[in-house]
Structure 1
Amino acid sequence: MFVTFEGLDGCGKTTQAVLLADALRGDGVEVVSTREPGGTPLGEAIRDLVLHGGHVAPWAEAALYAASRAQHVDGVIRPALERGATVVCDRYIDSSVAYQGVGRGLGLEEVLALNLAVVGGLLPDRTVLVEIDPETAAERVGSSGDRIERDGIALWRRVAGAYRTLAERYPERYVVVDGRRSVAEVAEEIRDRLR
């Protein structure tokens, strides 16, 4: 099974991805936990460049994330799935669609097509969207965030709307949870809904 976690920065998705992976391991499941951008040496270098470097043009940003993702799928995700492991990934294609496609105005369909091409059409079995409003996200992240987190509330509003559009478009894949609740409540709902 391939499970991804999505949501605005500060929503708690990283914590929930770790908790789900730990719970599955406790049940005796082989789990590969990974993240995007990152997951490979190339991906980590791209992550550092895009999140902590200077200005990156929107299409350059989208292309760099796609390059990281292509390497990640080829070197980590697909091999794990082929041997029967469960992959739990903190962010995947939908992040690029939401942040670059809609947030940066490149086009939902255009960024989706780019990413589907580089991963050979590999989509997750389930995508957990941990929803919080942009104002709560900004409050949780504060002013010390990375380059994208500092782009402001208007970007986050567009991204939140994009995630909602994706959840409505792919209801068979999406599990939407309220990230404003306690960590334990959110984790319990995620486990129940993924069973």
Structure 2
Amino acid sequence: MTGVFITLEGGDGVGKSTQSALLRGWLEDEGHEVVVTASRGQRARVEIREIVLHRRGHIAPRAEALLYAADRAHHVETVVRPALDRGAVVLQDRYLDSSVAYQGAGRVLDAGEIRELSLWAAQGLLPDLTVLLDLDQAAARVRLDAARTRFDRLESERADFHERVRQAFLGSRARSRSASWSSTPRARARRSPRQSGPGRRR
């Protein structure tokens, strides 16, 4: 593969979509083909995500984790790898760290098992760079409320769920000191891509 795989991680309401759009614009200005994978559209993925995020009633945590893994397997095989093979820069909104944070910490499942499941689904594909955006959970909730959009299953979870998720993201960063990260707290959330610091590389 000759492309570059960049993932943006963080809880709901931290500004991943905004930063992804800024980064995409800058990269395209520099002459790169950019594929942003936050957009939906493939039928299989839409159906899986509809079950996970919008189905009424309880979904067992392990079933939820497996559905997300199925979504990732299909997406990596049909979108991410082909784009990387042709030399594009892929910007992925959420990847392995989100599974560990949401299904591991949020749903209180074994983080190691979730990561192994996610890696298997992704055929071992790791990002070249991970950008972590962090925001106080209460402030992030204010942003979500201001957006006035319907909350999905995960966004609707209680504050303690989202705090576990946030701490899992921060813990993942702390455990990766041997690699580098780009960590964007609230005070620096509006920096342009040109000003961003070093990111976690693998």
**What's the TM-score, normalizing by structure 1?**
0.90
Alignment counterpart, residue 154 of structure 2, candidates 148, 152, 159: 148
- Aligned residues between the structures: 191
Structure 1 or 2: more helix by fraction:
1
State the Cα deviation string for residues 3-58 of structure 1 (Å, max 9, x = none).
0001111000111112111110110011111128x563311222222111122111
> What pairs up with 1:18-167 in 2 under 5 angstroms?
18-35=21-38, 38=40, 40-54=42-56, 55-142=58-145, 144-167=150-173
Q: Judge conservation of contact 2:7–2:130 (CA < 8 Å) in 1.
A: yes
Q: Note the residue ranges of structure 2 that are not aligned, 5 or more in a row.
A: none
Alignment counterpart, residue 176 of structure 1, candidates 179, 183, 188: 183
Report the secondary structure of 1:23's partner residue. helix
Aligned equivalents of 2:137, 2:64: Cα separation in 1 = 22
Q: Are the structure 2 counterparts of residues 165 and 39 from structure 1 closer, same or farther at C-alpha, using a change threshold of 3 Å?
A: farther
Aligned equivalents of 1:82, 1:107: Cα separation in 2 = 33
Q: Judge conservation of contact 1:179–1:186 (CA < 8 Å) in 2.
A: no
Aligned equivalents of 1:3, 1:40: Cα separation in 2 = 21
Q: Judge conservation of contact 1:40–1:75 (CA < 8 Å) in 2.
A: no
Identity %: 43
User: Paired residue for 2:198?
Assistant: 193
User: Paired residue for 1:11?
Assistant: 14
Aligned equivalents of 2:185, 2:120: Cα separation in 1 = 32
**What's the TM-score, normalizing by structure 2?**
0.87
